[in-house]
Structure 1
Amino acid sequence: MADTKQTKTIGEHYVAAELARRGWAPAMTRDGIARTDILAVKADDARRQMIEVQVKAARGPRFERISWPLGLKSQEPAKQDGEFFVLVAIPDDEALMPRYFVVPRDHIAAAAYMAHQDWLLDPLAKAGKRNATVARSRVSVPTFERYEGRWDLLESGQSSAPVLLDGRFHALASDPRVGLPPAHPWHDKLPTWD
């Protein structure tokens, strides 16, 4: 079994390196700031744009089986436009490179909540077999596939970022069985999906 602290370290350092490659000056917070693992300033931009990045790293033998725990704190809406998650899928095979999924915080919050509620309240599931609370939500690589390598989203801010979740999430957001997490900004107006 992979050491979770090592997995976190791998993820954060890979993300910091990728940010630096793209003109951001990253600074690791060393577990000192809630919801933020890396603060970064766009070093080659006169506006000096700043972002907060929360890194979630997970390992596994096959990419399609890797999932990230996205509990209650991950399901809280963004407090500012520059809040993002970078999900890192780290293969056990050291010959393969990690995969990165750059996702606006509000998109993570919605997906984690909706995926869990859909699983929990599935009418086809055997009664009494599914009882894990939304705090135990896990979401896998296929959910965020369209966010892979989308470092460009960091520059536009999350309010301008296209929703790249697959179309079933649009339906789930309107489904009374599932819906959106409490206080989520999409309650006011559901965005269009790309």
Structure 2
Amino acid sequence: MADNKQTKTVGEHLVASALARRGWAPALTRDGLERTDILAVATHDPERRMVEIQVKTATGRDWSHINWLLGAKAQSPSRGQTEYFVLVAVPNDVSLTPRTFVVPRSHIAAAAWIQHMAWLTDPSVPTGTRNAPVSLARVYIDVFERYEDRWDLLMVDQDSSPVLLPPKFRDLAALDRVGLPLEHSWRNGLPEWS
């Protein structure tokens, strides 16, 4: 599936279908609405919680090669408690079922920054060898494995959501050479990792 628009369409429709199966009323937004591909209302919730979802879809020959470009926009601060990403992994082998990862926006921002800065500033690599800006951050599927099919997180505000990133990311975020994005809410104090 080489066509980027087709890949995007596969992911968005897969997520909309998964939401509908779980009692959400999803609405695909028009292209060009920044940060939100799907608005969804929890019809099963008496308070009718509404969430904003950005879908990122990536393909690859096998799971270990699938990664998402999570650049500057993905790393920008959350504007509310109900912003989420759903990362969709679509293998090239059509006999395999795509996988979904439901991740609060603030967790995406932290993961992209931490992974990229740890790679960029790795002390075992000669200085100047790596120079890609953080806006080109790519994060592999293994970082988000604990978020797989965690549709329940859509009912939890970001600040209360369990952090399911790899434990080593917490240690990396505490290092001066890695840290977190400038306006990230965790700069005031790292939450506990689950």
Return the alpha-carbon distance in structure 2 between the equivalents of residues 66 and 126 of structure 1. 27
What corresponds to 2:127 in structure 1?
Answer: 127
Give the partner amino acid of 2:136: R
Q: Report the CA distance between 1:32 and its aligned residue.
A: 3.4
Return the alpha-carbon distance in structure 1 between the equivalents of residues 182 and 146 of structure 2. 25
Q: Report the CA distance between 1:45 and its aligned residue.
A: 1.6
1:66-98 CA-to-partner distances (Å, cap 9, x unmatched) read 000000000012111110000000010111100
Give the partner amino acid of 1:179: G
Q: Report the CA distance between 1:128 and its aligned residue.
A: 2.2
What corresponds to 1:140 in structure 2?
Answer: 140
1:95-152 CA-to-partner distances (Å, cap 9, x unmatched) read 1100000000000000001100000111111332211000000000000010001000
The 5 A counterparts of 1:76-155 are: 76-155=76-155
**Uncovered stretches (5+) of structure 1, i.e. residues with no partner:** none
Return the alpha-carbon distance in structure 2 between the equivalents of residues 127 and 180 of structure 1. 21
**Uncovered stretches (5+) of structure 2, i.e. residues with no partner:** none
Return the alpha-carbon distance in structure 2 between the equivalents of residues 71 and 116 of structure 1. 10
Give the partner amino acid of 2:7: T
What corresponds to 1:8 in structure 2?
Answer: 8
- Determine helix, strand or coil for the equivalent of 1:58: strand
1:32-79 CA-to-partner distances (Å, cap 9, x unmatched) read 321000000011222010000000000001011100000000001211
Between stretches 52-61 and 37-46, larger displacement belongs to 37-46
Return the alpha-carbon distance in structure 2 between the equivalents of residues 125 and 2 of structure 1. 33
Return the alpha-carbon distance in structure 2 between the equivalents of residues 86 and 118 of structure 1. 24
- Determine helix, strand or coil for the equivalent of 2:74: helix
The 5 A counterparts of 1:1-194 are: 2-194=2-194
Return the alpha-carbon distance in structure 2 between the equivalents of residues 138 and 96 of structure 1. 23
RMSD, aligned CA: 0.9
Give the partner amino acid of 1:119: W
* TM-score, scaled to structure 1: 0.98
Give the partner amino acid of 1:134: V
Q: Report the CA distance between 1:157 and its aligned residue.
A: 2.0
Return the alpha-carbon distance in structure 2 between the equivalents of residues 125 and 94 of structure 1. 38
Between stretches 26-35 and 79-88, larger displacement belongs to 26-35
Between stretches 1-10 and 168-177, larger displacement belongs to 1-10
